[in-house]
Structure 1
Amino acid sequence: MGRNDLTWLFFGFSGRISRMAFFLAGLLWAVFQAFALYRFTVAEQAGGATNIWAMLFWALFFLSVWSSVALGVKRLHDFGKPGIFTVALFIPMVSIIAFIALCFWPGDEGANRYGTRTNAPA
């Protein structure tokens, strides 16, 4: 998997991705955010490290929001649904159910209008 493949996976909106790719990409963002938040909370207040970890956390947060939308759109494309339904990932309480559904709902077998195969751009 090359650099362009990773850029497409995390930030592209075309094509389809599988349940496993969606789950693992979301898990990776959660680990990055948790690490930055942890480092922010244990950094000494007097030093500049607190500000650096806070900025890193917020940068990761905004990148992960964009990436979550892109991942959700591609996951929805995998079973033939339009990407606008990704908004459900940002509604409190509904987001948990939507995430679980996207992790477990099987995609379309074969080609659909969003791509000929899973885990590839259209």
Structure 2
Amino acid sequence: MFRNPFSFKGRIRRLEYGISFIIMVIVNTIMQGILNVAGSSNGSEGLIILYFILLIPYCWFSLAQGAKRCHDRGNSGWYQIIPFYGFWMLFADGEKETNEYGECPK
């Protein structure tokens, strides 16, 4: 689990995607806290810069995990931009056999 979490290649199971989703919610909450503190204090340009620096790996991780989950379903990683598709990937089972994106992660 969590082998190459920033890579767009391969497939992941629902469990890894679900754990990734929880991690992203926690990190997003922390990042929003940083942004709220930055907005309520003077001279907080450093916190805003920190927020945007943290936003880059956050987005990369989110997109990579989503793409790998799409691959497990047999779809292109671009499918994750469809509204509510990411939520559906939490519950939908992946393909049981090897597909063009790799071996079944089960």
TM-score bracket, normalised by the shorter chain, equals 0.7 to 0.9
Partner SS, residue 105 of structure 2 = coil
Percent identity of equivalent pairs:
26
Q: Deviation of residue 18 (structure 1)?
A: 0.9
Aligned to 1:81: 75
C-alpha separation between the residues in 1 aligned to 2:103 and 2:88? 22
C-alpha separation between the residues in 2 aligned to 1:59 and 1:33? 13
TM-score, normalising length: structure 2: 0.80
C-alpha separation between the residues in 2 aligned to 1:39 and 1:84? 30
Pairing 1:33–2:45 present: no
Structure 1 pair 31–52 and aligned structure 2 pair: CA distance change class (3 A): farther
Q: Deviation of residue 103 (structure 1)?
A: 0.6
Q: Deviation of residue 21 (structure 1)?
A: 0.9
Aligned to 1:91: none
Aligned to 2:50: 56
Q: Deviations over 1:4-51 (max 9, x none)?
A: x2xx11x1011001112112112212211211321332356235xx33
Aligned to 1:71: 65
- Where does structure 1 differ by over 6 angstroms across 4 or more consecutive aligned residues? none
Aligned to 1:115: 102
Structure 1 pair 86–100 and aligned structure 2 pair: CA distance change class (3 A): closer
Structure 1 pair 30–53 and aligned structure 2 pair: CA distance change class (3 A): farther
Aligned residues between the structures: 105
More helix by share: 1
CA RMSD between the two structures? 2.3
C-alpha separation between the residues in 2 aligned to 1:66 and 1:77? 16
C-alpha separation between the residues in 2 aligned to 1:61 and 1:30? 13
Structure 2 residue runs of 5 or longer lacking an equivalent are none
Structure 1 residue runs of 5 or longer lacking an equivalent are 89-93
